[in-house]
């Protein structure tokens, strides 16, 4: 056998060996290509590919709380109590269940009694014979009861040209400073020039907390030394805002118990100073923690007397099973709820919307005769 023949045989042997060794890898690769994707396997589809097949391109919905998610706890409380009246003709037991449900949601005794008295009249007039229809009639009545002016006023009535001041008041721990930060971020995003006044000079962390929010949203912060007169801080903030042509001053105040007359008198002084030229108080917003329920009513009464409250900010509504407090505030005090906190994010402080609120609280849909989910 010649040398050339020997070399050819060796080459053929080496190539065959390599091919035999590669066969398992080729087989596994073909299996991977032919194996269908499991439900847990993410599939990347380019935008151009989706458009070529006329399929809609899925985009992630923006984050942010809704009334439906924020009122889930309150809705569960109501629905659990209302479950016993479904699919039957309304009777006295039905009215007792409705009463328990409204009281359990912290609508309040007086407001609950008035609400049910009117609902009984509606049921008689419309000859309602189904409990589900009765719940929808209750929803309609609640929406009508929440008919109020909820606008946040950029200018104090009759004080055009003055620098608007929004004064935030309330007891300790309700979230005033955080509320101011979120409102400031929202106004700044709309292109407004915001000045914040750190008039809570008694809590050491208040000014630094507000400074953090001011830095985030590009607002200017005016603060004083620890223990300084809160009125002087507000005066300085209003003067600075007027000099800079700012759109609004957001003034923080120290938390105070509503039964401490000297502190409430001091708060009244802060409001008087804020309302002097070149400033004018356009809004005095009482911040109430929704989890306090009926205790918020006594707070509201005292603060309204001291500072002429124009509206309520209800925080932590998403963490409370007492979402019905909105009705008690508006029915018994005549104060409109203007903003509600439905989460901890900066975008979760939203305008109060009566229709969305009632639908989410009762678990009904104004456009659907049936009851919605939990």
Max intra-chain CA distance, the chain: 119
DSSP summary character for residue 62: P
- In angstroms, the CA 275 to CA 41 distance is 62
Report yes or no: 201 and 233 within 8 Å, Cβ to Cβ: yes
Q: What are phi and psi of 58, to 5 degrees?
A: -75, 130
- Domain locations in the chain? 71-148, 163-364
Bridge partners (DSSP) of residue 315 are 289
Q: What percent of the chain has pLDDT over 70?
A: 77
Q: What are phi and psi of 53, to 5 degrees?
A: -100, 10
pLDDT tier at 190, thresholds 50, 70, 90: very high
> What is the average per-residue pLDDT within 69-95?
75
Query: What angle in degrees, to the nearest 10, is found between the helix axes of 72-82 and 92-104?
Result: 160
Of 249, 253, 306, 332, which is closest to residue 283 (Cα–Cα)?
249
Q: What are phi and psi of 334, to 5 degrees?
A: 70, 25
Expressed in percent and rounded to 5, the helix, strand and coil fractions of the chain are 50, 15, 35
- In angstroms, the CA 81 to CA 324 distance is 14
- In angstroms, the CA 141 to CA 247 distance is 38
pLDDT tens digit sequence for 90-147 = 888 888 888 988 988 888 899 999 999 999 999 999 998 887 888 889 999 999 999 9
Q: What are phi and psi of 327, to 5 degrees?
A: -65, -40
Classify domain 71-148 at the CATH superfamily level: SRP54, nucleotide-binding domain (1.20.120.140)
Q: Which CATH number fits domain 163-364: 1.20.1050.10, 3.40.50.300, 3.30.1490.100, 3.90.550.10?
A: 3.40.50.300
- In angstroms, the CA 326 to CA 318 distance is 13
Q: How many CB atoms lie within 10 A of CB 87?
A: 7
> What is the average per-residue pLDDT within 167-179?
91
């Amino acid at each position: 056998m010649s040398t050339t023949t020997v070399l050819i045989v060796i080459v053929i042997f080496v190539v065959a060996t390599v091919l035999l060794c590669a066969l398992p890898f080729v087989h596994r690769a073909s299996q991977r290509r032919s194996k269908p994707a499991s439900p847990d396997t993410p599939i990347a589809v380019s935008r151009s590919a989706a458009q070529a097949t006329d399929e809609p391109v899925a985009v992630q919905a923006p984050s942010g709380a809704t009334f439906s998610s924020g009122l889930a706890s309150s809705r569960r409380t109501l629905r659990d109590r209302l479950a016993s009246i479904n699919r039957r003709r309304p009777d006295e037991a039905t009215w007792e269940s409705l009463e328990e449900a409204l009281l359990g949601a912290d609508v309040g005794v007086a407001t609950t009694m008035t609400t049910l008295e009117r609902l009984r009249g509606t049921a008689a007039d419309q000859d309602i014979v189904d409990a589900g229809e009765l719940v929808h009639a209750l929803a309609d009545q609640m929406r009508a009861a929440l008919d109020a002016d909820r606008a946040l006023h950029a200018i104090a009535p009759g004080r055009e040209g003055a620098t608007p001041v929004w004064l935030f008041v309330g007891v300790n721990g309700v979230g005033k400073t955080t509320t101011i930060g979120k409102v400031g971020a929202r106004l700044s995003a709309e292109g407004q020039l915001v000045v914040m006044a750190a008039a809570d000079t008694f809590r050491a962390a208040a000014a630094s907390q507000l400074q953090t929010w001011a830095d985030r949203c590009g607002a200017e912060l005016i603060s004083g030394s620890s223990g300084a007169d809160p009125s002087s801080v507000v005066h300085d903030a209003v003067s600075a805002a007027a000099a800079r042509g700012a759109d609004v001053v957001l003034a923080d105040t120290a938390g105070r118990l509503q039964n401490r007359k000297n502190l409430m008198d001091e708060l009244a002084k802060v409001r008087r100073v804020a309302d002097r030229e070149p400033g004018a108080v356009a809004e005095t917003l009482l911040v109430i923690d929704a989890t306090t329920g009926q205790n918020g009513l006594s707070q509201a009464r005292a603060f309204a007397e001291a500072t002429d409250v124009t509206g309520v900010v209800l925080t932590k509504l998403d963490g409370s099973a007492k979402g019905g407090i909105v009705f008690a505030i508006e029915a018994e005090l005549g104060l409109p709820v203007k903003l509600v906190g439905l989460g901890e994010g900066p975008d979760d402080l939203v305008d109060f919307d009566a229709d969305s609120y009632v639908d989410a609280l009762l678990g009904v849909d104004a456009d659907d005769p049936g009851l919605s989910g939990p």
